[in-house]
Amino acid sequence: MENARLGAIALDCHDPIALANFYKDVLDLSVALSTDELVVLKGAEVFLTFERVADHPAPTWPEGAVPKQLHLDLAVTDLDAEEARIVALGATKAETQPRPDQWRVLIDPAGHPFCITTMM
């Protein structure tokens, strides 16, 4: 019997093409499928998909009316260098940084918080 395996991670957003282009550059992935409603990026073992949701509310992390629905932890070797590179690609640095010596919280162009970390 074969076990289930993670096949894809989907992020809801207002503009799938723009958000997919951001993560394509951050993670150096390739585009497997692209429409106005759905973009699929292919990595080594998993797909990362971006799906249009009309009136998608951006999360208001760490507090507020709209909680984060999901967040990604991205493994890096140099926090400062990767933070600078990813911010230059369009992310913003979150005001709240619980453990900035071990990971940094960034916000993608659609408002999703994600982390970069040396802990993995």
Please write the tens of the pLDDT for every residue from 40-76: 999 888 889 999 999 999 999 888 899 887 789 999 9
Rounded distance between C-alpha atoms, residue 19 and residue 26, angstroms = 11
Pairwise CA distance, residues 31 & 41, whole Å = 5
Q: pLDDT tens digits for 71-105? A: 899 999 999 999 999 999 999 999 999 999 999 99
| pLDDT score recorded for residue 3 | 83
Where helices occur in the chain by DSSP H, the ranges are 16-27, 79-88
The pLDDT of residue 46 is 85
Alpha helix (H) residue ranges in 12-78: 16-27
The structure's pTM equals 0.89
Which of 65, 46, 56, 59 has its CA nearest to residue 16? 56
